[in-house]
Structure 1
Amino acid sequence: MSAQPNYRHYITEEEYLAAERQAEFKSEYLNGEVFAMAGASYEHNLITGNLVTSLNNRLGDRNCTVQANDMRLQVSEAGLYTYPDVSVVCGEPQFRDKAYLDTLLNPVVLVEVMSRSTKGFDRAGKLQFYRSIPSLRHYLLVASNAVNVMSYSRLEDDIWRIADYTGLTDLIPLTALDLELPVAEIYRKVPLPERSAQA
């Protein structure tokens, strides 16, 4: 999410959605303000593609779907509309408006690939907002300039376990999907500093 809103006045959620469905470029929305989204880097796009491919391959024929960063997400308690880099839904997807099917409500897994301009909000703001989604079980924060994945997993009693993965041989458990995600697959063909790639 960029630092400056597109509009200086507040708009309603309905006004935002109507404008967004006609817009040439994506914007996010938080409590009446609209924020333009910056373009993604080469590394960012490679990582996002790798995540979608790896998750799809591992999920196989299970009743789960993987969406890339064009699927809008509504976090209703926070007044936030955003575009996660990757989202996974298991079972029947729920949408804000059945006439459009463009605003998801019930992800099980969310992934944000961090860039310099978004890492602060991804780590702090979005983490707090995403934790209010009842269906969410895993949130991954993936660095785009080093081998580093932070995993937040919801346990019983709404306790969240945090784990950090910095080795290419590491496996990230996604228990809600009954699979392990190899870090090496996330960073496949991604140009990284030599020391980071060997970590």
Structure 2
Amino acid sequence: MMIANLHSPILSPAEYLAWEAEQDTKHEYENGKIIAMTGGTIPHSQISANLAALLIPHLRGKGCKVAISDAKVTTPSGKYYYPDLIVTCDDRDRFARDFLQYPTIIVEVLSPATEARDRGIKQQHYMLIETLQTYILITPDRPRIEIYQRRSDLAWEYLSIAIEPTDLEDKNTTNDPLIQITSLDLTFPISVLYENINFPSEPNDL
């Protein structure tokens, strides 16, 4: 998603939630300010859909929810964000309507407009959520996925997997590394995540 700062007075969380419920578009909330969310690219949306298509059947019957882009998550520091994908398996989120509080996984698909925040302030505050076990960053214009997996209250393990776009375009390639999301006991090849994605000739040629 793209972002745009709105010139607005400082709002309390309750005021933000009441205000946003009446809006036609989505807005994040950070430090008392609202941030408008605008549309992303087709590859951005396709990657979220591909991952959801993997997760939903895998988690069926396990008491987990998979939400894409339209679901807010709140952090212990009082921020409200719209991740590209959220998985929550916590009973406390079972009847949530306005926002989720206890995610197991948060995924952000990167874009030039959001990458700094996804790697910076948003990542910092996501990792304050005690139930969060995995934070994933996905690059849409080349095959790359970065995974942060919680090992303790303060320690996270980082893994980056990247291949050349030509490896995915070659149907006979043997370079199709497996992605492991240990918190969900899920393993899948990176090619499935990028199914139906056509890569630009230059990494930044979106």
TM over 0.5, shorter chain: yes
How has the CA–CA distance of structure 1 residues 154 and 10 changed in structure 2, closer, same or farther, with 3 Å as cutoff?
A: same
Residue in structure 2 matched with residue 92 of structure 1 by the alignment: 91
Gaps of 5+ in 2: 169-175
| CA distance in 2: counterparts of 1:191 and 1:2, whole angstroms | 21
5 Å-filtered alignment, 1:47-58, equals: 47-58=47-58
1:121 to 111, 114, 117: 117
Superposed CA RMSD: 2.1
Structure 1 residue identity aligned to 2:102: N
Divergent runs of 4+, >4 A: 1-4
Residue in structure 2 matched with residue 18 of structure 1 by the alignment: 18
| 2:68 corresponds to 1:68 | yes
Residue in structure 2 matched with residue 137 of structure 1 by the alignment: 133
Residue in structure 1 matched with residue 179 of structure 2 by the alignment: 172
| CA distance in 2: counterparts of 1:174 and 1:91, whole angstroms | 18
| CA distance in 2: counterparts of 1:183 and 1:93, whole angstroms | 32
Residue in structure 1 matched with residue 30 of structure 2 by the alignment: 30
5 Å-filtered alignment, 1:33-44, equals: 33-44=33-44
Scaled by the length of structure 1, what TM-score is found?
0.88
Deviation at 1:54, TM superposition (A): 1.0
Structure 1 residue identity aligned to 2:130: P
How has the CA–CA distance of structure 1 residues 116 and 62 changed in structure 2, closer, same or farther, with 3 Å as cutoff?
A: same
1:104 to 76, 81, 100: 100
Deviation at 1:119, TM superposition (A): 0.7
Deviation at 1:180, TM superposition (A): 1.5
| CA distance in 2: counterparts of 1:52 and 1:173, whole angstroms | 15
Is the 2:90–2:102 Cα contact (8 Å) retained in structure 1? no
| CA distance in 1: counterparts of 2:178 and 2:202, whole angstroms | 19
| CA distance in 1: counterparts of 2:180 and 2:83, whole angstroms | 20
Deviations along 1:28-66, whole A, 9 cap, x unmatched? 000100010121111101111111111112223322221
How has the CA–CA distance of structure 1 residues 105 and 27 changed in structure 2, closer, same or farther, with 3 Å as cutoff?
A: same
| CA distance in 2: counterparts of 1:175 and 1:34, whole angstroms | 34
Residue in structure 1 matched with residue 189 of structure 2 by the alignment: 182
How has the CA–CA distance of structure 1 residues 57 and 116 changed in structure 2, closer, same or farther, with 3 Å as cutoff?
A: same
Deviation at 1:91, TM superposition (A): 3.7
How has the CA–CA distance of structure 1 residues 93 and 191 changed in structure 2, closer, same or farther, with 3 Å as cutoff?
A: farther
Deviation at 1:157, TM superposition (A): 4.5
Deviation at 1:179, TM superposition (A): 1.4
SS at match of 1:53: helix
| CA distance in 2: counterparts of 1:2 and 1:9, whole angstroms | 22
Structure 1 residue identity aligned to 2:89: C
Deviation at 1:26, TM superposition (A): 0.2
| CA distance in 2: counterparts of 1:27 and 1:195, whole angstroms | 31
Deviation at 1:5, TM superposition (A): 2.7
Is the 1:171–1:182 Cα contact (8 Å) retained in structure 2? yes
Scaled by the length of structure 2, what TM-score is found?
0.86
Report percent identity of matched pairs: 32
SS at match of 2:5: coil
Number of residue pairs matched? 192
